[in-house]
Structure formats: C-alpha cells, structure tokens
Amino acid sequence: MRRTLLAALATLPFATPAAAQMTQGQSLYDKDCAICHLANGVGGVHFCDAVSANLTAPGLEATYRNSDTLILRAILQAKDQDGAPLDMPMPAWSGRLSPADATQILTYLKTLHS
C-alpha cells in the first residue's frame, strides 16, 4: 500500500522533485537492498558472522555523523563511517548504481523510522 500511495503522489502535478526522488529511491531500495536489510530497513539478517545493518533513521544518520557523503560512500564503496571496509556481504555498489541512484536511495532511507 505504501508503495502505491508514494507512486501515486509522485505523479501528481504538484509533486516535488524530492517526492519523485524518494519514490525512485524506494524502488531501487526494494530491488537492490531489501533482500539483506528487509523492506522496513531494520536489517538483522545473519550472514555467517555478519549481520545486516539497521538502515532506519535517525540511527543511520547518527552512525554516519549526519553526513550524507559518508552514507553515500557506504553505499557506493562499502566503507564505514571511518573508511574501513563494511562487513561482507555488503557490496560496493559503484558501477552498478550511479551516484544519483545512491542519492535517491538515501532520500528514501531518511523516511524509514524503526
């Protein structure tokens, strides 16, 4: 239902670019991220010794020092807030997602709250 409502709102004449960006971000998230981080972003999926991260706001922003640049680096380069590699199986999405795609995903992530 949420997806249908968001998609419908993004097509309205008064829809803002941010609304369209968020809708596209949700679509990308659902396709590429939800399998590990779950549809609601809370993560907790176990991969041997690693556990997928909780991507819900505001915790995500706090972890990455309220820096969109650091969150985008995590998505595109699989680096944590200090520049260390993220646990496997988190891939570096650079080359598969554009910086614009990652920004759209980030816009969507900011709407998720646990």
Domain architecture of the chain: domains with CATH: 17-109 (1.10.760.10)
Give long-range contacts, CB 8 A cutoff, 24+ apart: 89-95: 89/36, 89/47, 89/50, 90/36, 90/52, 90/53, 93/32
pLDDT of residue 81: 97
pLDDT of residue 21: 86
Which pTM does this prediction carry?
A: 0.84
Q: DSSP character for 40?
A: T
pLDDT of residue 91: 96
DSSP-H helix ranges across the chain: 2-11, 17-32, 34-37, 59-63, 68-77, 99-109
pLDDT of residue 56: 94
Q: What phi, psi does 111 have (nearest 5°)?
A: -90, -10
Q: What is the mean pLDDT of each run of 10 residues along the chain (114 residues)?
A: 55 66 94 97 94 93 95 98 95 97 95 85
